Amino acid sequence: MLRLTPEEAMLRDLRIRRLLGRGITARVYKGRWNGVTVAVKIIEHSERSPGTASSGILRESLLATQLSHPNIVQSYFTSTMTVSKRNALAKAWLSAEAGTSPATKQSPEPSSSAQKGDDNHDGNSSDSHTAVTMSSEMCWRRSAAPGLLAAAAWIIMEFCEKGSLERAVSRGTFIRREDRQPEMIGVYKALLDTASGLGYLHSIGVVHGDLKNANVLLKGASRDLRGFSCKIAGFGLSRVLDMDATHDTDMIDISTCKFGTIVHMPSELLLTGRMTTATDVYSFGLKMWELFTSQRVFEQGLSIGQIFYTVAYQNWRPTVPPNCPPGYAELMTACWHQDPEQRPTVPQLLRSLQKLYVAEKQRMAAERQPAAAGAQGAAGAGGEHGV
């Protein structure tokens, strides 16, 4: 009988179901854990010394469980083990469930829909993986370099069944059907959610480092008129700053870490490796543009090198749409200011967004009043005519 560590014992109740999405080094599955529907992120890597790619994986798993905020995806549990240990546990546990020998028990193959992945998180596909625990499909094999031990990091997270903000934008969630103009109340609430989560991160000295709509997930919320709330995810590139650092002075060397999404990076990060809280604010400004236009920056399909040159050496920014409200445009362009010191802090962002949100609600209420008065007047005139 295998001797389990407390962490391994915690994984005993985990059930992996369908594949939600995959990347180069990770896969995310829907699962059940302690009676709760969860998302399970599994990242395979090689055990190396700190300072390499695997240290970023460890950083994400350690950081995730220490974060707690309504607008941050909650991580419940993390574990890292070698692939050989994982396979031994899988065989033992599957055998115990099936009452057969490890050699005769076969893991079911994933359905074609699961292999394609689904970032909708709608939960409609078949749960054919209910009895599968830590099978070879869940943690695919990767060859490690000689002398390196293959390992897997497991992160059990809050399940956000509404998918990503990027997906919602592409589906036209923030466009009014009647006139194809931006639905500004929804835009402001999504931005306020994101800024609230980002403000929490900065308040505890964490720079996200890869803020984009694909890293903001939507969680169902029955008390919210939208039916969802926005939660920041994707902490693999996050960095913990010196708590004495200012908005613009703390720096790291990006030569020791991976790049995030290059289209959301400011020139100072691309050219000098300067990462600060102002880096996230720049990315937030591009999020504002994408939410307002329901488009993605650089949709024309430039290469990474072309994007790098355009942003780093030509100071490229998206064109502000002519129908953009002045206050919105002013805040958005302030976020992507060339000088990091001139960008607003997140607390300033939150105050400005709240004012814009309230002003938009007042504007909409004022527009409705004449229409309501006109309808009442017409009804009254009809009644007098009837007398």
Task: Report the binding-site residues for ATP.
Answer: 41
Domains of the chain: 8-158 (3.30.200.20), 165-365 (1.10.510.10)
Separation between Cα atoms, residue 172 and residue 226, nearest integer Å: 14
Tens of pLDDT along 94-117? Answer: 555 555 444 434 433 333 333 333
Contact 182, 356 (CB under 8 A): no
- Tally DSSP H helices, then E strands, for the chain: 11, 9
pLDDT for 37: 94
Separation between Cα atoms, residue 247 and residue 332, nearest integer Å: 18
Q: Of 219, 214, 170, nearest to 70 (Cα)?
A: 219
Q: DSSP 3-state helix, strand, coil percentages of the chain (rounded to 5)?
A: 40, 15, 40
The continuous run of DSSP H or E covering 57 comes out as helix 53-64
Tens of pLDDT along 146-205? Answer: 444 466 778 899 999 999 999 999 999 999 999 999 999 999 999 999 999 999 999 999
pTM of the model: 0.77
Q: Of 62, 64, 58, 67, nearest to 25 (Cα)?
A: 58
Q: Of 282, 71, 43, nearest to 156 (Cα)?
A: 43
Instruction: Enumerate residues 6+ apart whose C-beta is below 8 A from 71.
Output: 193, 194, 196, 197, 200, 229, 230, 231, 232
pLDDT for 274: 82
b vs e for 64-76, b when ≥16 Cβ sit within 10 Å of the residue's Cβ?
beebebebbbbbe
Residues in the chain, pLDDT under 50: 49-53, 100-149, 243-259, 387
pLDDT for 46: 60
Planar angle of CA 184, 190, 193, nearest 5 degrees: 140
Separation between Cα atoms, residue 294 and residue 285, nearest integer Å: 14
b vs e for 263-290, b when ≥16 Cβ sit within 10 Å of the residue's Cβ?
bbbbbbbbeeebbbbbbbbbbbbbbbbb
Owner of token pair 């939150």: 350
- DSSP conformation letters of 116-171: H--TT----S--TTTT--S-TTTS---PPPTT-EEEEEEEEEE--TT-BHHHHHHT
Separation between Cα atoms, residue 252 and residue 279, nearest integer Å: 12
Count of Cβ atoms closer than 10 Å to residue 175 Cβ: 17
Instruction: Enumerate residues 6+ apart whose C-beta is below 8 A from 377.
Output: none
Count of Cβ atoms closer than 10 Å to residue 116 Cβ: 11
pLDDT for 97: 53
Task: Report the binding-site residues.
Answer: 41
pLDDT for 13: 80
pLDDT for 69: 94
Please give the C-alpha separations between residue 192 and each of 84, 253, 375, in angstroms, as whole numbers: 45, 30, 35
